[in-house]
Amino acid sequence: RIPTPPNTCDVQLLCMKGKAKHKSSDNAIVWKMKRMGGMKESQLSAEIELLPNDKKKWNRPPISMSFEVPFAPSGFKVRYLKVFEHKLNYSDSDTIKWVRYIGKSGLYETRC
C-alpha cells in the first residue's frame, strides 16, 4: 500500500510482477502479488499527475505491506497431534492430520 496525495488526478503504473492499481477512494496504490520466490526482487514504477493545489504541503504517510511466509521463522514445530471430539463423533482415526506453517507479517512500514 503506497499512499498518494489527495489531489491526485491520474496515475500510470508499471509493475514487473503482480497487479497494481490506484484506489482513489483510499488515496493509495495497492500492489498485489500471489507468489514471490526466495532471493527475488520486483519493481513497481508509478507516475502520478497532480491537480494544482494551494493548500498546505502534503506530509507523506508511511508505505505499508502485509505478507505471509510459508514456514515458521521461529523454528516452532508440531510433533504430536491427536484429535478427539465427542459431540461430532470424530476420533483420531477419522481425521487426516496435517500442519501448515505460516509466518505472518506484523506491521511493516517505511518512510521515504
Based on the structure, what is the number of domains in the chain?
A: 2
Indicate if 88 and 41 belong to the same structural domain: no
The position carrying cell 494551494 is 54
Domain that holds residue 2: 1-51
Amino acid of residue 84:
F
Q: 73 and 41 share a domain?
A: no
Summarised one tens digit per residue, pLDDT across range 50-72 is 888 767 788 888 888 787 777 77
Residues 106 and 81 occupy one common structural domain: yes
Please state the φ and ψ torsions of residue 12, each to the nearest 5 degrees. -110, 125
What is the pLDDT at residue 76?
A: 74
Residue range 63-109, pLDDT digits in tens = 887 877 777 767 777 777 777 777 777 777 777 777 777 777 666 66
CATH number at residue 5: 2.60.40.1170
68 and 40 together in one domain: no
69 vs 46 pLDDT, higher one: 46
